[in-house]
Every structure is written in structure tokens, then in C-alpha cells.
A and B are shown apart, each in its own frame.
Chain A
Amino acid sequence: MQAFAELLDRLSTAPGRNVRLDLIAAYLKSTPDPDRGYALASLAGDLKLRAARPSMIRELVADRTDPELFRLSYDYVGDLAETVSLLWPQDRSANATPHLSEIIGTLEAAKRGQVPDLVAGWLDRLDPTGRWALLKLLTGGLRVGVSGRLARTALTRLGDADLPAIEEVWHAVEPPYTALFDWLEGRAERPSLAEAMTFRPLMLAHPLEAEEQSRLDMADFRAEWKWDGIRVQLVLRGGQGRLFSRTGDDISAAFPDLMQTLAGDAVLDGELLVMRSDGIGSFNDLQQRLNRKTVSAKQQAAHPVGIRLYDILFDADRDCRALPFIDRRQVLTDWVARHASPRLDLSPLVPAVDWEQLAKVRADPPHPAIEGVMLKRADSPYHAGRPRGLWFKWKREPHRVDCVMMYAQRGHGRRSSLYSDFTFGAWRGDELVPVGKAYFGFTDAELKELDRFVRGNIVDRYGPVRAVEQSLVLEIAFDGVNRSRRHKSGVAMRFPRIARIRWDKPAAEADHVETIERLIT
């Protein structure tokens, strides 16, 4: 655990990608199995650990510290894991620090009621850095500037395998990845993918930038609708099927209605949508089926889901990924014809003559579940990751409304000393009601100005939250609106970000909730 803690500590202040890679690679080379595998999983965000709730951590520390001193400290530090790691009374007689694998194994085997005592025991045995790392691990979200891709890139330093080769097997192996390390370090063959119904890394698109558009020749591309559902990968084999989210999580269990109807042998790429006999449902419809572990018969009947397919990676054992897009499209069309199902259909091509014509259909699509168009090079192979110049997404212009800043909170990580998370509201009668939260969209310079505004306009405090004078108008851009029972306003924006700070605009002239409600599709 100590080596892992030191790695996280160094990563938390490492200045750039290369320094981070060096640190991770050095750790992986010098740490034995299985600890390094668990560390890798946690860096890559693939460690499924029973999370500890912050409230549990707070109770543990409350038993050991003066509440007033805790309050002052937490207020100053702003991060629970860091505050607790520093405040925790050091047990100077403790010697053996726990191994990462010991912690993970013990947690897996433990009963729920045993967790607090276990955590306290480990905190006693660790130093402040070790405690911080453990608490970050347990509360989820390391936030040390490492993506799954960067963690896997570090693996290329262990042997001859390149990143695409590692990405390919990544979803066929599990923490602590002993088989993967054995292969990378030349002790064993590559882990087998043939029989496993594994997720294959997706090909992703870049947003289409205006200046890039002028350089692209429409004749090289094919256009499709960009559906407002969720991207999925469907793996079918030997009468069985598995459905994966875009990050490779198996979400099959939430969609029995879909999975039971499928047959064939293929790996397919498409959009999960609500599909009724009379057409496609909105994202708001689909929302009723998302983030559920189980699903009732009633929900299945009311919101039946299906997949609109747009690519094929494998047709039975044939790897189609090296084929050009138009050839894959033909393979996919034939496959769909052979496997007719009310739950699967083919995403149609959109005729694209020139930019002007395409811009017109993009601005006025035939269905509300369309959020723009996709442009894919006719000759593009299916290349995992986000390769340049092959696929583009060209979304409809975002919606924009003017809202008023109501609350602010300090951010995390690099931003933990700045107020960078903002709750904003819109008018309902003569009262502002919160309609959303945004923590990006602004430049560093704007963030400093926002932070200064918050510091100078605090009117109330609730724990870490600061209520501010309701005077600053923020222009919020967002991609859509859903109904929400969890929000007092009854609406939830999708992907809200601060488009502009309207220092010039009086709060009274901000928008009303009704304006936002009208955008619900």
C-alpha cells in the first residue's frame, strides 16, 4: 500500500503526461503481483470496490477528533480524504503496513457491518500519505490526472506490445491482470479472446470544427444521423448475448426484453433507443430504462428498447475492422437482413450533397431523437480510440438560456482552492429555483473572476456550499432537457456548461423556468 500511496502522491503533483507515464511505469516494474494489478485497475478506473460512503469516514474521524477542530480543518482543506488523512491520530507503535491486495481481498470478504472497523484498523497502520491514498481508493475517484488510456499506455513500457494490442485484450482480462503481465513480460501467450464474449474498444468521433469543415471534401464522406440515445456494443455468440456500454461495462442485465430476442454471431456497434412500433422514443423516454439494476415487466412494456445499428466489428469469426466503412456497411446490411428483428434495425445513411444541404437537414432533422449528423470517411477502417480525421460528429447548436448564480462550492483536485462548481437558477414568478450545476465551460481567467465574485458575495454557508448574492447572470449552453423529479424545478439539463459570464445583465432579466420546460422533447 505504501508504494501505491507514494505513486498516487507523486501523480497528484506530476506536471505532465510524460512524468506521469514514467511514474506509473516505474511503479509497475518494481511492484510484484498482485498489488501492481490492483493498482493498475484503480488507476484505470476498473477496480470494482465496495465503496465507503463519506458519512462512514466522517463518523470514524468524529470518534477520534474534536468536532470543532474537524470543522475548521475540513473547511480549510476542502477535501474529506485529505482532511481525515491529516487529522487521524497517528499510531506510532504500528509497524506492518497493509498490502493493497490484502485490503482489497479483505474488503471483498467482509460483511457490511465490519467495514468501519477494518478501515479504522488500516488507517491506524498507515502514514498520512497512505491514509489519503486508502481513503481516495475507498471513496472512489482518485483524481490524479490518469485516464484508463494513460494507465494502459504505461503497460507498453513492460514489453513489446503496443497500445492497440493492449487495448484489444484489456476487456478480456480482470484485476489483478496476472495473465496480462505474464504476456507483456514474455512469460506466456497472449490471453485468449476467441471464446470470450468481450468488449472491443470503440471507435470514437471528433467534434467537427468550423475551420476543419472547409478542408473536408464531402465526396469522401458518408453521413448518418446522430441519435440521442446511448452508444452500445452488442456481442452475440452461440445463442448468447452481452450488451456493453461505451466504457465496456456489461449492462445486459438491465435489458432482458432486448437480450431475449436476439440471435446470431457478431460484434455490433449502435445506439440504444426506445423503439416502439410507431417509432423511436426521446432520450427522456430512454432515461426511464437507464441506471437500473433490475427492470419491471411494466417498465419493459412501456419503454421497450432496441438498437439502431451503424457498424459491425465481427461477422461470426471474420474480423471486419480493417475493411473500409462502406464495405463494413454492406456486411452490416446483409447481417441485418439475415437477422430480422423488431428490436434491431439499420441506421440509415443521410444523403449528403454538400455542406449547405447537410447543414439544412441537421438544423431541421425529421425526428426529435436526432441531435445532429455523423460524418464518416467512406474508406475509414474501424480504428479503436479517437483517430484524427476519420469520424466527425456535427451536433445541432446547443440551447442557451440566461440563469443566475445561486450557490458555489470549491472544486476538486487542482481546483480545490477555487470556487468552481456553480449552481444556477431560473425565475419562477419572483423566486429563483435551481435548474442545474456547471463546472466547466469557462477559461482559467474567467474561473478566477468567478471565484473572486463568489468570495466577495457570500451571503450564507451550508457546510461546503456558499450561497451567493443572486446578482450574476450566467449564459448556460446545454444539449437537452429532461423532466426530473429529483430537482425542485422539475427539469434537468443535459451537459450544461457556462457559455458566457454576463457581467452586464441584470439578474431580473434572466430566463424563466417555463422557457426551459418548453425545450423538453
Chain B
Amino acid sequence: MAEGKRLSWLEPRPGGLYCIPGDFYVDPVRKAERAIITHGHADHARPGNNHVLATHETIAIAEARYGSNAGRSFQRVRYGEVTRIGDVSVRLVSAGHVLGSAQVVLEHGGERIVVSGDYKRSRDPTCAPFEVVTCDAFITEATFGLPVFRHPSASAEVGRLLASVAAAPERCHLVGVYALGKAQRVIALLREAGYDDTIYLHGALQKLCALYQRLGVDLGDLAPVAGLPKQALTGRIVMCPPSSLADRWSQQMPDPVTAVASGWMRIRARARQRGAELPLIISDHADWDELTATIRDVEAGEIWVTHGREDALVHYARSLGLEARALSLVGREEDGDTETEMEEAGS
């Protein structure tokens, strides 16, 4: 198909998505002089950039993760605030993915391109909802870009977790969640469902939960697992990174029900591979219905698909008569390898 003309000022390069008239990268994969960062996940926010523009929260997250390596100078912006960089106007709007996550709205020469980063449309009490911005070209993720991925309501999934806790009070519930976004969302949903007990955390989750609380997200009573006797966790909910579910750390749990909260849990073989006795389909990425609704909502003539299973979404967009193409971005391409997919579920 014909190359879209808008690619003339925004293009994929080995270092990431590069904006020519502004001389900056969005979510660069190599150290860049000037970077706009959509959100704090490690495949988007990388250390070592010189000048970084992002939301407050995203910068706070990057600093928590990378310390002084997060960037040399920062421009902290609010959603909706317009900045000019070179000949380009730049505005960040909410993406609904994790706290501080943003879509990047770029305008140049009378054209508007939206780089959505990672996003979702379903409800999340820990971050601002996705905002629809109409545009000429829309760059969408496709992590769950197949029609088999239709996430059920996250509250209902948390309800299943609580039902299991009630049904097996002699066991402990060990929930594998990604440290940024998923952990806090699941905790917040548990609180909404009326679960007031202390929730116990693996050390790798503590820093970001504390940061969320400092940024005003109420997560209730949290405590570290470390130092507790085994029996103290009977009947409790414990959260840890997915990678800790199978390692020696998890052996200190009393007869745990292993739960994993991820969009991949929709596929039984994945759930079994992860050893999830209780798979919880909770995702911070848009499912098929959200992806296709967004493609319609933004009214863009061109759709660029990245970050996941592009084929089906490109096919769908073309069936609507839109120009659509897969955009390969280095560092975020998935080849179907399970482990990468699982790690990416947290991105």
C-alpha cells in the first residue's frame, strides 16, 4: 500500500519514533537528546535521556526507578498543557493505562498525529480515564489485538478473587501482579469491593505502591511480607511480581492459591504455563473491543499499529476503509515468545 504522506514528519528510526520538525523522540529505545515519555513502564521510559518531557507522575515513577539516571533535565507537564518544540505543538492527554500515562498529541503543518502509547478504555480507580482526541493519523498499540481478547470487568474478576479467599480460608492467596499499575489497580479494586484487611507485599512492589500513595491514590493498609512467620499469612492476600510466583520466595507461603492478574490469562494454555490456579483476567491494555472502538472514535484516516499482534487490527482498520499499516518499532516488537509477552503484559 501507499506510504502515508504524514510519515514525512514522524518516522520510525532505530532509536525510536522520531519527530523531524521537533527533533525529538517519543519513548526512545536509545539514549536521546530530547525525549517525550508516554508512561513509566520500562519498555517506554528508559534511563539515560538528556531532556525529558512527561507528566509529573511519569517523571516521579522514572526517578523512583532510575534515580539520577532518569534524565538530566525534566519538563513536567499537566494533561492538556500545550508546549512548542521547534515547529511542532505538543500536548499530553490521558491514556488511562497507569498513573500519569499519556497519549502524545503532535500538530505540525495543519496535521495532527496522536501517539497513544499504551492505553485502555475500561475503568481504573488509580488513574485518569482515556481521552479521545480526533486526529489525522492514530498510532495504536495492539498488545491484545485479536478478537479472542475481550476482557471481562476487572471488578468482577476481583470478585472471583474474593470468592476464592472466602472459600479457602485455610490457604493464602498469592497474586502475581506487575509492579507498576497492575498492583495498585488490583489493590484499589479490592478496597472498592470492601476488602479492608491488610494486604501483604513482596519487597519489589513496595516502592511504587508507596509512590502511588504519596501521589494521592488511596490503597489502604499495606505491609511487607518480609519477616512475617508463615502462619501469619494464612487466609491473607499477598501480592508479588509474576516472576516470584515460581521461585523459592513463594515457598514461604502457607499452601498458596496462585493467582495471576493479566490479560493473557484469557487463554487457558497461558494460564497453565504460568502455573495459575486462579487466573484473573485483568489488563491495563485495551482489549479488542476497546481497540476497535478507539479506531472508530478518533476518526483518523490513517492507523499505524505497533506493539503486539498487528495483523488482525490492520485487517480490521482496512475493512473500515482506512489506510492502515504495521509500524515496527525496535525494542517493542514481539515474536510470540511467551516470556516476552508475559513481561510485556506489565508494560
Task: Please measure, in the bound complex, the distance between the C-alpha atom of A250 and the C-alpha atom of B311, giving whole angstroms.
Answer: 51
Closest-CB distance, B340 to chain A (whole angstroms): 13
CB-based contact A69/B268 at 8 Å = no
Q: Are B316 and A69 in contact (CB under 8 A)?
A: yes
A373 to B341 alpha-carbon distance, docked (Å):
52
Contact segment of A33-41, A376-384, A410-418: A410-418
Which of chain A's residues have a CB closer than 8 A to the CB of B276?
13
Count: A-B pairs, CB below 8 Å: 68
B231 in the interface (beta carbon within 8 A): no
Is B279 an interface residue, CB under 8 A from the partner? yes
Beyond A13-B271, A72-B311, A414-B272, is A77–B278 a contact (Cβ under 8 Å)?
A: no
Contact A73 B271 (CB under 8 A): no
* Least CB distance, A419 to chain B, in whole angstroms: 13
Q: How far is the CB of A127 from chain B (nearest CB, A)?
A: 8
Tell me if A86 and B148 are in contact (CB < 8 A).
yes
Shortest Cβ distance from B273 into A: residue: A417
A12-B272, A65-B147, A86-B148 are contacts. A72–B312 as well, Cβ < 8 Å? yes
Find out whether the CB atom of A73 lies under 8 angstroms from the CB atom of B312.
yes
Q: Smallest Cβ distance from B144 to chain A, in angstroms?
A: 11
Q: How far is the CA of A83 from the CA of B312 in the complex (A)?
A: 15
Report the separation of the CA atoms of residues A66 and B167 in the bound assembly, to the nearest whole angstrom: 41
Distance from A211 Cβ to chain B, minimum over Cβ atoms (Å)? 31
Say whether B147 contacts A73, CB under 8 Å.
Answer: yes
Given contacts A66-B319, A73-B312, contact A13 B272 (CB under 8 A): yes
Which of B149, B150, B167, B279 has a CB less than 8 Å from the CB of A13? B279
A13–B311 CB distance below 8 A: no
B-side interface size class: 20 to 34
- Asked if B271 contacts A83 (CB within 8 A), the reply is no
Q: Does A87 sit within 8 A of B, measured CB to CB? A: yes
A14 and B277 contact, Cβ closer than 8 Å, known pairs A69-B147, A83-B148: yes
B146 adjacent to chain A (CB < 8 Å)? yes
Q: Which chain A residues lie closer than 8 Å to B338 at the CB level? A: 417
Per the bound structure, the CA–CA distance linking A65 and B316 in Å amounts to 12
Counting CB contacts under 8 A, is B65 at the interface?
no
Asked if A413 contacts B272 (CB within 8 A), the reply is yes
Partner of B268, one of A13, A15, A87: A13
B268–A12 touching, CB < 8 Å = yes
Determine if B270 is an interface residue (Cβ-Cβ < 8 Å): yes
Instruction: Determine if B267 and A77 form an interchain contact, defined as CB atoms under 8 angstroms apart.
Output: yes
CB pair B146–A76 under 8 Å, yes or no, is: yes
A181–B271 Cα distance when bound, in Å, is 34
In-complex Cβ contact of B315 among A14, A69, A90, A414 (8 A): A69
A73-B146 in contact (CB<8A): yes
Q: A13-B277, A13-B278, A87-B148 are in contact. Are A82 and B267 (CB under 8 A)?
A: yes
For A, the interface residue count at a CB cutoff of 8 angstroms equals 26
List which B285-328 residues lie within 8 A (CB) of chain A: 309, 311-312, 315-316, 319
Residues on B with C-beta less than 8 A from A86 are 147-150, 266
Interface hits, A31-89 → B, CB 8 Å: 65-66, 68-69, 72-73, 76-79, 82-83, 86-87
Task: Confirm or deny: A19 has a beta carbon within 8 angstroms of a beta carbon on chain B.
Answer: yes
Distance of A66 Cα from B311 Cα, bound (Å): 13
A15 to B269, CA, bound (A): 13
B184 at interface, CB cutoff 8 A: no
Q: Write out the residue numbers on chain A whose beta carbons fall within 8 Å of the beta carbon of B147.
A: 65, 69, 73, 86-87
Closest beta carbon of chain B to A20's beta carbon, Å: 11
**Given A15-B258, A66-B319, A73-B148, A82-B275 contact (CB < 8 Å):** no
Can you name the residue of chain B whose Cβ is closest to the Cβ of A81?
A: B268
Residues from chain B with a CB closer than 8 A to the CB of A73 are 146-148, 312
Cβ contacts under 8 Å, A87 to chain B: 147-148
A78 to B270, CA, bound (A): 11
Tell me how far the C-beta of B277 lies from the nearest C-beta in chain A, rounded to whole angstroms.
Answer: 5
The interface residues of chain A lying within 8 Å CB-to-CB of B319 are 66
Is there contact, CB below 8 Å, between A82 and B268?
yes
Given the known inter-chain contacts A72-B311, A76-B309, please indicate yes or no for A414 contacting B269, CB distance below 8 A: yes
Expressed in whole angstroms, the minimum distance between the Cβ of B321 and any Cβ of chain A is: 15
Query: A413 vs B279: C-alpha distance in the bound complex, in angstroms?
Result: 15
Q: Mark out the residues of chain B between 252 and 273 whose CB falls within 8 Å of any chain A CB in the assembled complex.
A: 258, 266-273
**Chain B residues whose C-beta falls within 8 Å of the C-beta of A78 in the assembled complex:** 269
Complex CA gap A86/B281 in Å reads: 13
* Cα distance A78–B268 in the bound complex, in angstroms: 11
Q: Report the minimal beta-carbon distance from B260 to chain A, rounded to whole angstroms.
A: 10
Digit string of A410-454 for contact with B (CB within 8 Å is 1, else 0)?
A: 000110110000000000000000000000000000000000000
**What are the interface flags for B114-135 relative to A under an 8 Å C-beta threshold, 1 for contact and 0 otherwise?**
0000000000000000000000
Q: Which A residues are closer than 8 A to B by beta carbons?
A: 12-15, 19, 26, 65-66, 68-69, 72-73, 76-79, 82-83, 86-87, 90, 128, 413-414, 416-417
Binding site for A on B (CB under 8 A): 146-150, 167, 258, 266-273, 275-279, 309, 311-312, 315-316, 319, 338
Given contacts A26-B167, A69-B315, 9 further A-B contacts (CB under 8 A): A12-B268, A12-B271, A13-B268, A13-B272, A13-B279, A19-B277, A72-B146, A72-B312, A86-B148
A-B contact pairs, 14 of them (CB 8 A): A12-B268, A13-B268, A13-B278, A15-B258, A65-B147, A69-B312, A69-B316, A73-B312, A76-B146, A76-B148, A77-B148, A413-B269, A414-B272, A417-B269
